[in-house]
Amino acid sequence: MSVLVGKKAPLFKADAVINGSEIVENFSLEQYLGKKYVVFFFYPADFTFVCPTEILAFQERIEEFEERDVALVGCSVDSAFSHWKWLQTQQKEGGIKGVKYPLVADQSKTISENYGVLAGHYDLNDEGESLFHGIPQSYRGLFLIDKEGVVRHQLVNDMPLGRSVDETIRMIDALQYFEANGEVCPANWKKGDKALKPTQEGISEYLSR
């Protein structure tokens, strides 16, 4: 498992479904450089159980991400055609119809591998054949990428453990507050709370509130 915080987010070009219905080729996060923050998250597979709860929860809060100048992008090892079919399926039937942000197809598993969230690895047997060991899906990885393309926050959950949209938004707010004010965000900080100056005097002032 690699730690990407402080490093440039790995770039890629892949098929994706955008606007809930349009399959595009060569989708890339490069389009957001210098323009938007990105929350890029991985989920194990289409047509599963925890995954739609997360995907739909992010869609329900899409306006809050847009207000913060953040693009949401999801990704799994399924094909673009599988994404498309799931996006056309009604929610009451286990689908995610209504989701508008992009879903990237990582059939080669190279995107998941480059982000360090692939739940397994390839190896060669004695005959020189390539074999996959583990589960050929992605863990629930989430990466907050700034406008310069640098990863500023990452979270990786095991497959049974769904993520918190509230915590994702809190981390965006913390990053943007720091960028705007130069003050750092202490434990459990949320938008509107007092932050602190990164000095001993600032810490003392914060602790003596």
Q: Which residues are catalytic?
A: 51
| Contact between residue 78 and residue 107 where contact means Cβ atoms under 8 Å apart | yes
Cross-strand bridge partners of residue 16: 24, 104
Structure tokens at 152: 């500023």
- By three-state DSSP, how is residue 137 classified? strand
- By three-state DSSP, how is residue 33 classified? coil
CA dist., res. 104 & res. 185, Å (int)? 32
Cross-strand bridge partners of residue 53: none
CA dist., res. 120 & res. 136, Å (int)? 6
- Beta-carbon contacts of residue 60 (< 8 Å; ≥ 6 apart): 165
